[in-house]
Amino acid sequence: MCRALPLNSFRIPGSPETPTQPAADAANSQGSKNPSEDEKVRAALKERVALKEKIKRMRKVISIFCSREYQLDQDSFYFQS
């Protein structure tokens, strides 16, 4: 049977609860001496946001499939009786 997973179940064990972003803080404190470093940081942040959105969409899809599976199990149980 399918169950919805809590958000923290996708966290890597041993990682902090709220992720920090030292690369972005370091780039801002240095006064952006290297533009390519800023571009790399922005690209990494953009990728992270895109992956979070993808995870959110996939969780919704999994939730829908689980509810459909549960309903089919219930229907088959009652039709066998």
pLDDT of the residue at 53: 96
Binning pLDDT at 50, 70 and 90, where does residue 23 land?
low
29, pLDDT greater than 60: no
Residue extents of the structural domains in the chain? 35-81
Largest CA distance in the chain: 73
Q: What angle do CA 65, 70, 75 make, to 5 degrees?
A: 125
CA distance 17 to 59: 19
- Report which of residues 27 and 3 the model is more confident about: 3
Q: Which helix (H) or strand (E) holds 26?
A: helix 22-29
